[in-house]
Structure 1
Amino acid sequence: MLNRDYVNELIHNDDAFTFLRYDRSSPAFWELKKKEVLAMIRQLGCPTLFSTLSAAETKWADLIVILTQVLENKVITVEEAANMSYEKKCDLIKQDPVTCVRYFERRLNVYGKYYRLLVVHFDTMN
């Protein structure tokens, strides 16, 4: 059973706090993880954030809507574009590579904006 002296000793020695170090919702768990990350940074150096990007024109329903509107003068919904056959999407993409490149550039610029915000956020943490 827990007696008052034992509980007071746990609190005094901070053992009550470390008891929960394996419970993900406890401050002790996150304190342990913070120490592990700081130890890794001391041993390995600062981490590098990188990303690999590639165009996925056939997966972008918005682009297919634009291509259909430009090439076939038809207005379709995003759902119709998503359900369009792969071959039809490829034909649209082949017919107008300039629009595809401009659309990819626009998506890349939006990604770059969010990436720069992320970098600024991490720079202010120092």
Structure 2
Amino acid sequence: MSNKRRFNRNEYLFYALCIVEYFRAKSSVSVSCRMRQGHGEHTPQGLVDNMHLTMRNIRSSASYWQKCCSELIAMVRRLGPPTWFLTFSCNYLNWTDMIKALIIADGRDIVDAEHLTFSERLLLVQRHPVVVARQFTLRANALMRFLKRNQVCLGIPTEDWYRVESRLSAHISIC
């Protein structure tokens, strides 16, 4: 992203996400409308019936989650139930390196990250959601690399599935 602060504000981020999702949906619907239904005729009912196929690429749509669920169920049917199911949450208020990254993003000098009050930490997290998401993604990727390379920890992985989500706070589910 840019180093200009206006592009790091929540309002801009949600606006940009809305625009990206709008163009993804528009592109998917455009492709669906150009597809031939039946004997080369475009019927409104045929377009509506195939709409769930085009919405599979739009995050947070019902078709997207149905596709993800189907992929996971197919993996379980093929390989059996998972040996491990792990969930890790982002402890963004207590991770020292996260707080230091947030202080740097805020443009301040790192004085003593451990002695910030709860409200100061919370304000930093609210001001810089991109930094929080980026730091958590780096940790999640490092965890996945560790689990795949370290065969002593959980055994030799044959398949893996993981999803990084953000509901109230970022978390990763691994099986």
TM-score range, shorter chain: 0.5 to 0.7
What TM-score does the superposition give when structure 2 sets the normalisation length?
0.39
Equivalent residue number for residue 96 of structure 1: 128
Equivalent residue number for residue 69 of structure 1: 104
| Distance in 2 separating the partners of 1:86 and 1:61 | 13
| Distance in 2 separating the partners of 1:90 and 1:46 | 39
1:111 partnered with 2:139: no
| Distance in 1 separating the partners of 2:127 and 2:81 | 46
SS of the residue corresponding to residue 63 of structure 1 reads: helix
SS of the residue corresponding to residue 53 of structure 1 reads: strand
The 1:75–1:82 alpha-carbon spacing in structure 2 relative to 1, beyond 3 Å, is closer
| Distance in 2 separating the partners of 1:46 and 1:98 | 35
Runs of 4+ aligned structure 1 residues displaced above 4 Å come to none
| Distance in 1 separating the partners of 2:101 and 2:82 | 40
Asked whether the equivalents of residues 102 and 125 of structure 2 are also in contact (C-alpha less than 8 Å), the reply is yes
| Distance in 1 separating the partners of 2:107 and 2:101 | 10
The one-letter amino acid paired with 1:64 is: I
SS of the residue corresponding to residue 155 of structure 2 reads: helix
The one-letter amino acid paired with 2:156 is: D
Identity score, percent = 25
Give the total of aligned pairs: 77
Q: Choose between structure 1 and 2: higher helix proportion.
A: 1
What TM-score does the superposition give when structure 1 sets the normalisation length?
0.53
Q: RMSD value over aligned CA atoms?
A: 2.6
Deviation string, structure 1 residues 22-58 (Cα, Å, up to 9, x no partner): xxxxxxxxxxxxxxxxxxxxxxx98711211111100
> 1:122, CA displacement in angstroms?
2.4
**Structure 1 gap ranges (5+):** 1-44
Q: Choose between structure 1 and 2: higher strand proportion.
A: 2
Equivalent residue number for residue 122 of structure 1: 155
Equivalent residue number for residue 117 of structure 2: 85
Equivalent residue number for residue 60 of structure 1: 95
SS of the residue corresponding to residue 89 of structure 2 reads: coil
The 1:71–1:46 alpha-carbon spacing in structure 2 relative to 1, beyond 3 Å, is closer
Higher relative contact order structure (alpha carbons within 8 Å, sequence separation ≥ 6):
2
The 1:70–1:46 alpha-carbon spacing in structure 2 relative to 1, beyond 3 Å, is closer
